[in-house]
Amino acid sequence: MNGTLYLIPCPISDETAPWDVLPAANRAVMDSLDYFIVENTRTARRFLSKAGIARPIAELEFRELNEHTVAGPDVEALVDPIAAGRSAGVISEAGVPGVADPGALVVEACHRRGIRVVPLVGPSSILLALMASGLNGQSFAFNGYLPVKPAERAQAIRRFERRARSEGQSQLFIEAPYRNAKLLEQLLQVLAPDTRLTLAVDLTAPGGQVTTRTVAEWCRAPLPELNKRPAIFIIG
């Protein structure tokens, strides 16, 4: 009989205690598992330790699934123990697994092999940012990362702005934290003055903030310090 794959959210911010943002019902599942498929072993061990799970950390098995994992045999090898009856938990670096996260590979493999997949409740930076933006929550798209090259990035920004204006669809995207300031600078250069732009920074952390302004208003205001701060950008 197959085991079950559980998708286990973790805090978005290192400053946040696990049980400040996770429902208590997750604890029973986490306590029951001894096999975890994780994006990074060190941070997953730290999260489970801070969560105070019942089993000693040294008794747990961790196997990594990240950008270096090759789809195919490597992913199937992660699923083999589950197919043999052992349940597992997937843990992302931050937030919910499977969304903007390599965990989707093992989820897809489990579906192919008829293994039950159970998502647990927890913080998603994408949904939290959208909830607090005041932009359209009925129709939205998450676009991942924009191109790195400025010319290609400008084209992508214009494309998403056209979609937001013509379809009323909120356009969400992210950037590597050390490139946030450059991205914000280019957004303010490329977008129309009356386009609304949301910036959601350090969500769930004590200093977290979500701000929506027109581009013209952003240009008149002091810009926040974004270096190395996780952020979600939304065009609406």
Give residue 114's pLDDT band: very low, low, confident or very high (50, 70, 90): very high
Q: What is the pLDDT of residue 100?
A: 86
Q: What is the pLDDT of residue 68?
A: 80
Domain span at residue 228?
Answer: 125-235
Q: Check whether residue 12 and residue 37 sit in a common domain.
A: yes
Sort residue 20 into left (φ over 0), alpha (ψ -120 to 50) or beta.
alpha
Q: Check whether residue 165 and residue 146 sit in a common domain.
A: yes
Give residue 67's pLDDT band: very low, low, confident or very high (50, 70, 90): confident
Q: What is the pLDDT of residue 72?
A: 85
Q: What is the pLDDT of residue 65?
A: 92
H-helix or E-strand spanning residue 120: none
Q: How does pLDDT run across 220-236, given as a tens digit for each residue?
A: 999 998 988 999 999 99
Q: How does pLDDT run across 115-129, given as a tens digit for each residue?
A: 999 999 999 999 999
111: nearest Cα among 91, 84, 89, 82 = 82
Q: Reduce the secondary structure of 164-225 to three states and give it as a string.
A: HHHHCCEEEEECCHHHHHHHHHHHHHHCCCCCEEEEEECCCCCCCEEEEEEHHHHHHCCCCC
Q: Check whether residue 130 and residue 173 sit in a common domain.
A: yes
Q: Check whether residue 133 and residue 115 sit in a common domain.
A: no
**Domain boundary residue among 67, 95, 119?**
119
Q: Check whether residue 226 and residue 132 sit in a common domain.
A: yes
Over range 199-216, report the average pLDDT.
95
Q: Check whether residue 70 and residue 93 sit in a common domain.
A: yes
Give CA 144 to chain center in angstroms.
10
CATH number of residue 181's parent domain: 3.30.950.10
**Domain boundary residue among 119, 138, 155?**
119
CATH number of residue 44's parent domain: 3.40.1010.10
Q: Check whether residue 99 and residue 169 sit in a common domain.
A: no
Indicate whether 113 pLDDT > 90: yes
Q: What is the pLDDT of residue 129?
A: 98
Task: Count how many domains the chain has.
Answer: 2
Q: Check whether residue 15 and residue 106 sit in a common domain.
A: yes
Q: How does pLDDT run across 136-158, given as a tens digit for each residue?
A: 999 999 999 999 999 999 999 99
pLDDT, averaged across the chain: 95
Q: How does pLDDT run across 163-196, given as a tens digit for each residue?
A: 999 999 999 999 998 999 999 999 999 999 999 9
Q: What is the pLDDT of residue 228?
A: 84
Q: How does pLDDT run across 24-64, given as a tens digit for each residue?
A: 999 999 999 999 999 999 999 999 999 999 999 999 999 99
**Domain boundary residue among 119, 135, 152?**
119
Q: What is the pLDDT of residue 121?
A: 96
Q: Check whether residue 111 and residue 146 sit in a common domain.
A: no
What residue type is assigned to position 215 of the chain? V
Q: What is the pLDDT of residue 14?
A: 85
pTM more than 0.85: yes
Indicate whether 203 pLDDT > 90: yes
